[in-house]
Amino acid sequence: MPIITTNDLKNGMTLELDNTLFSVVEFQHVKPGKGHAFVRTTLKNSRTGAVIDRTFRAGEKVERAIIDKRAMQFLYRDGTDYVFMDTETYDQLTVNPETLGEASDYLVEQNTAMLMMYGEDVIGVDLPASVELIITETEPGLQGDRVSGARKPATLETGLVVSVPLFIEKGEQVKVDTRTGEYLSRV
């Protein structure tokens, strides 16, 4: 593990603290009038998603974790687990849904996802800003019901339920924002 000082911190950097991986959400160097300088950070636990605030002395040494991003193709679901294939080595990897978190709502078979790996462990998924999914179930829009901005629930092929405009029908492909889970447009 490379050792860095708290003066080298950047947003998005991953650190290993107390045998746990944390990504730096935000940091601020503080130099009070009296006393020593310090670094105030907001850290997110890479496994649980919990956010903590932690203060370090300026120049304190911390371990930087090297996170490898690998392009993996999502093959199929095996019970509750997800099976991925490395697109370079063709090795298969089984990942549990807790590791994927909300990303499992946007994974479609045969699509490629960027898995974040720490050693041989999967710690998360790096999703694109939006994905295109097919609507498998929604109520038909009623003739004459054209209220501006009106919405109805629609179930997507992954099981995720989003709110879509009334004119969207079953079988249509829609673009969904992976950060908020909201409908963006029809494809």
Q: Hey, where are the domains in the chain?
A: 3-64, 68-126, 130-186
Domain 3-64, architecture per CATH = Roll (2.30)
3-64 and 68-126 agree in CATH topology: no
Residue 54 has what pLDDT? 93
pTM above 0.75, yes or no: no
Cα 87 from Cα 183, distance rounded (Å): 30
With a CB cutoff of 8 Å and minimum separation 6, the contacts of 108 are: 74, 131, 133, 157, 158
Q: Which fold has domain 130-186?
A: OB fold (Dihydrolipoamide Acetyltransferase, E2P) (2.40.50)
User: Going by CATH, does the domain composed of 68-126 fall within 2.40.128.20?
Assistant: no
* Per-run averaged pLDDT (10 residues), the chain, 187 residues: 85 88 91 90 85 91 89 89 90 87 86 86 84 89 65 89 87 90 88
Answer yes or no: are the C-beta atoms of 11 and 26 closer than 8 Å: yes
With a CB cutoff of 8 Å and minimum separation 6, the contacts of 24 are: 9, 10, 11, 12, 13, 14, 15, 41, 42, 43
Cα 53 from Cα 51, distance rounded (Å): 7
Answer yes or no: are the C-beta atoms of 22 and 47 closer than 8 Å: no
C-alpha 169, offset from chain centre: 28
Cα 121 from Cα 98, distance rounded (Å): 13
